Amino acid sequence: MSMTMMFEALSRASSFLEEAGEETEIASILLQHHTGYSRARLLAEMRSQIDESLLERYMEDVRTAASGVPVQHITGSEQFYGRRFHVNPDVLIPRPETEELVQHMLEQCRKPDASIVDIGTGSGIIAITLALELPESSVTAVDISERALATAERNAASLQADVTFLLGDLVSPVAGRTFDVLVSNPPYIPEGDRQSMKRNVTEHEPEGALFAGEDGLVIYRKLAASLPEMLTADGIAAFEIGDGQGEAVASLMKHALPEADVTVLRDINDRERIISVIRQPVRIRG
C-alpha cells in the first residue's frame, strides 16, 4: 500500500480548498490541528509519511472547511493576544483587529486597579485579556446570550482569569454602577450588508453579534446614552467600529459627553476601527 507524504496531503488539501474558493492557509491550520505539530515542526516533517487514518480524518475536515464552515469551528479554538480561546457557533470568532482595541485600552488605562466593564463580551476575549494583563483590576463582563456567557466562563476558567460574568441586555446588569473603563465590540454591521458578506460568516456566526439595524449604529446610540452615568469623572471608553462609521459614532459619543476627548483611530490596515473616549473632569473656573 502506497503511503502519503505530509507535503502531498497538504498540497491536495490546499488545491481542494482553492477550488472551493476558500483560503489555502486553512489546509495548514487543519494539518497542525490533526498532527499536534507547531508550524515549524510541520515544515520539518514535510517528507514524513502520514498515517492513513489520520489522513482520512484530516481530509474529512478539509471537505467540511470547503463547504464554508469556519476553520475555528472545526478546531474549536482561535488565538487572541497570544492566548488560545475556545470558540463555537454561539460566539463571534476573534478577529486580529480586536487585539488593537485591547492594546489601546492597555495603553490608555492609567490605574492598575481600574474597574473595567466589557459590554457584549461574547467569547470573553476582551474581558479575559484585560483581566490577565491588568491583574489588579476588577473586570465585569456582560452578554445577552446565555450560551455566549457559558463559552466566556469556560475560557476564563481555562486561562485562570478573574472575571465576573453577568447575563443581560447591554448595561442593564450593571445599572447604577460606575467604572473607570468601559469597552465594547458590539454588533455594528448594517442589515443591508448581509448580502455581500462571506457565507462562512453569515451562515455560521451568531446573527445577534453581527447586525445592528439599518445603519449599524443601534447599539452605539444605547451605549452613548449610558456613558455619562457609567463612566467615572476621569474614565475612559473604547468601542470597535466598522470602517466608515467613525464620524457618526464619534458624534454620538461627543454629544453624550461634550467634555470628553473623542478620537477615531485607524487599524493596521488603515481602516476606521476604534472610537476612543477619554473623559476629562470638568474644571470650575473661579
Per-residue pLDDT of the chain (286 residues), as tens digits, is 458 999 999 999 999 999 999 999 999 999 999 999 999 999 999 999 999 999 999 999 999 999 999 999 999 999 999 999 999 988 988 999 999 999 999 999 989 999 999 999 999 999 999 999 999 999 999 999 999 999 999 999 999 999 999 999 989 999 999 999 999 998 666 555 445 445 555 454 455 544 445 556 888 999 999 999 999 999 999 999 988 889 999 999 999 999 999 999 999 999 999 999 999 765 555 4
By the 8 A CB rule, do 77 and 85 touch?
yes
Q: Which of 171, 1, 208, 193 is nearest to 92 (CA)?
A: 208
Which residue numbers belong to the known binding site for substrate?
Answer: 185-188
User: 222: number of CA atoms within 13 Å, CB side?
Assistant: 16
- Amino acid type, 58: Y
Q: What is the pLDDT of residue 219?
A: 86
CA dihedral sign of residues 17, 20, 23, 29? negative
Residue ranges of the annotated binding site for S-adenosyl-L-methionine are 120-124, 143, 185
Q: What is the DSSP letter of 48?
A: S
CA-to-CA distance for 97 and 268, rounded, in angstroms?
A: 8
Looking at residue 243, its pLDDT comes to: 83
| Distant-in-sequence, close-in-space partners of 201: CB < 8 Å, separation ≥ 6 | 70, 210
Q: Strand, coil or helix: what is 50?
A: strand
Rounded to a whole number, what is the distance in angstroms from the first to the last CA of the chain?
Answer: 91
pLDDT at residue 90, as a whole number: 87
Q: For 51-87, give the secondary structure using H, E and C.
A: CHHHHHHHHHHHHHHHCCCCHHHHHCEEEECCEEEEC
What is the grid cell recorded at 58? 484530516
Query: Is the CB of residue 67 less than 8 Å from the CB of residue 60?
Result: no
* Residue 10 identity (one-letter amino acid): L
- pLDDT score recorded for residue 127: 98
All three cell numbers of 151, joined, read 463559552
Delimit the domains of the chain by residue range. Answer: 4-67, 88-278
Rounded (10°) CA dihedral 246, 274, 217, 115 = -140
Annotated binding site: 120-124, 143, 185-188
> Nearest Cα to 275, choosing from 244, 243, 237?
237
User: Could you tell me which CATH class the domain 88-278 is placed in?
Assistant: alpha beta
